[in-house]
Chains A and B, each alone.
Chain A
Amino acid sequence: MSKKSPPGPLEYLRRWPMQAWLAMVGIFLYAPLIALMAFSFNDSRRNIVWKGFTLKYYDKLFNDSALLEAFGNSLTIAAVSTVISLFLGAAAALVLWRFRFPGKTALDGALALPIVVPEICMGVAMLVFFAKVMPWPQGLAWPLNLGAIIIAHVSFSFPFVAVVVRARMASFNREMEEAARDLGAGEFRTIKDVILPHMAPSLVAGALLAFTLSLDDFVITFFTAGPDTVTFPVKVYSMVRFSVTPEVNAASTVLIVLTVLLTAAALKLQGDPAATAGHGPKDLGGEKP
């Protein structure tokens, strides 16, 4: 093997100042998270000195019914709001991509609003709405008591789904649809057999986005939730207000691991031909970030 060539003029990644900068940003982004995860296994309550490996905080965590309930609530809210958001977002994207109609610009603008409006503004709007216009009944059976939070989460998630799906539909070849029509497929049949399969990868991406947005949300839930319904972020918030403890570290670690697994699964799914229903990898090429 010959010696490595000197870096080319545009190979910035091979220059040491650039590498040092990247390393610095990497440490900045990851050191707090990695320290947090590491000390959830440390057998000492308040010291950073390593006292030995322990799983006792995880044991505590999985026996903490309040925290488990909050976690279950969060996952349920995320799952239900993802399903509704996916349906509404895909429908909105389909309308905006497919049709010419009066008020299209207005709809387009209105759909962008939940994305750009600051979280706090939407939070107070939900607070007012559920306090004055549509009070959510108290004491409903689970999961119906989560209804108000689910509604709020759908409102900020589905426009994101619409954006992702619409971007995907821009690459759709209309000739395929015309071919389906020539072969006798009706409107709904065409949507089901031709358009939806093309849309599939963006539905996976949109679902992941909606799920993460919901799982991540604190501010809007904080304003929407009644006194009896607690989600994981709201619970962690109240724990953090008191103190930093290994239990919170353990709970956070569980959520971080879950996020990493979800992201990995989504990346795998998007690369998986099964998820794209027969579309070749070439077709996915344009989809890569």
Chain B
Amino acid sequence: MENVMEQSWKQAKAVFAAALGPPLVWLVLFFLAPMAIVWAYSFGHNEGLTQIAITGTFGNYARAIEPLYLKIFLKSAWVAGLTTGLCLVLGFPVALAITFASDKAKTWLLLLIMLPFWTNLLIRTYALIAVLRTEGYVNQSLEWLWKGGGGLAALVGLQPLGDFQPLELLHNNFAVILGLVYVHLPFMVLPLYSALDRLDKSLLEASLDLGAGHMRTLFKVVVPLALPGIASGILITFIPALGAYLTPDLLGGPDSQMIANIIERQFKRANDWPFGAAMSFVLMYLTFIAIAIQAVLAKRTPEAKG
């Protein structure tokens, strides 16, 4: 897109240099250079304890697609996909309700969605641990109900209930997916809302006037028109879910590790930086592929862009 308001850099070289210099230097020195080093390491191997020789080998990538690690990649993609799907199902009605709310209600509802989004991720994860653990709020409430039920049963002369067995809610795949949905739901609702808010409401009214039901209007009118927004909501949820570290680390068990946990282990415990670097770049490539797919989808519906 050519912006006619733009000025050629030659017209104001001093301003241009003063404004470009600092962010460019910072970006190159403290972001691109570190990334480039990791990329270079992914083609190297350990030599001694601390030395890494960059030999141009593809061995680390070959190891990354061995069945053991390939399974973790596939599982991470599946977990992130499921999380995204659940967020979409949960979040779409919320976004729709906000879109058609009165101005005052809209502000409050948006604020309600934003607040958890601004709250520290670790604290939100910790809150879930407190809810789900064996002595957590859910299990203690259930135990209380169970005892109450047992007392009631004894009163009416029935067999007393057995000992309460706490549910295993933590350190498994269920907890990881619940945690990821919990953390990422606002990521989904906000882009959905901004897409739905731009829709021409008279189209919906026309559809309803012409006899289509709410569901039919939703799937035949709203969803197709809001597709680019839905696609960006999916992307914004899927990418961080795929690279999630904290949620599987704290809520998951040994069989619910995701890519990020494997990468962390290579760098911190296993001390195999070249392999960790390769895994890290596979994750980056997967991220870029997801972005590219979204970009292609967005291009297909140019009239709804904005």
Residues of A within 8 A of B (CB): 9-13, 18, 21-22, 25-26, 28-33, 35-36, 39, 46-49, 87-89, 91-92, 94-95, 98-101, 107, 110-111, 113-114, 116-129, 132-133, 151-152, 154-155, 158, 162, 174, 187-188, 191, 212, 215-216, 218-219, 223, 233, 236-237, 240-241, 244, 248-249, 252, 255-256, 259-260, 262-263, 267, 289
The majority secondary structure among interface residues of chain A is: helix
A240 and B129 form a contact (CB under 8 A): yes
The B interface is mostly helix, strand or loop, or mixed, namely helix
Cβ–Cβ contact A155 & B185, under 8 A: no
- Count A-B pairs with CB separation below 8 Å: 260
Give the distance to chain A from B118, nearest Cβ to Cβ, in Å: 5
- Contact between chains at B137 and A95 (CB < 8 Å): no
**Residues of chain B whose beta carbon lies under 8 Å from any beta carbon of chain A:** 3, 5-9, 12, 14-16, 18-20, 22-24, 26-27, 30-35, 37-38, 41, 90-91, 93-94, 96-97, 100-102, 105, 109-116, 118-131, 133, 135-137, 140-141, 182, 185-186, 190, 194, 201, 204-205, 208, 239-240, 242-243, 245-246, 250, 259-260, 263-264, 267, 273, 276-277, 280-281, 283-284, 287, 291
CB atoms of B16 and A255 under 8 A apart: no
| B102: chain A residues within 8 A (beta carbon) | 13
Q: Are B115 and A21 in contact (CB under 8 A)?
A: no
Partner of B35, one of A32, A33, A125, A132: A125
- Could you tell me if B23 and A125 are in contact, using CB atoms closer than 8 angstroms? no
Asked whether, in the complex, the Cβ of B120 is within 8 Å of the Cβ of A174, the reply is no
Across-interface contacts of A188 in B (CB, < 8 A): 15
Decide: B121 and A263 in contact? CB cutoff 8 A: no
Pairs A–B under 8 Å by Cβ, sample size 16: A9-B204, A13-B97, A13-B102, A21-B93, A25-B94, A26-B112, A99-B8, A100-B6, A125-B37, A154-B26, A218-B122, A241-B250, A252-B120, A252-B123, A252-B127, A259-B120
Q: In the assembled complex, how far is the CB of residue B55 from the closest CB belonging to chain A, in whole angstroms? A: 17
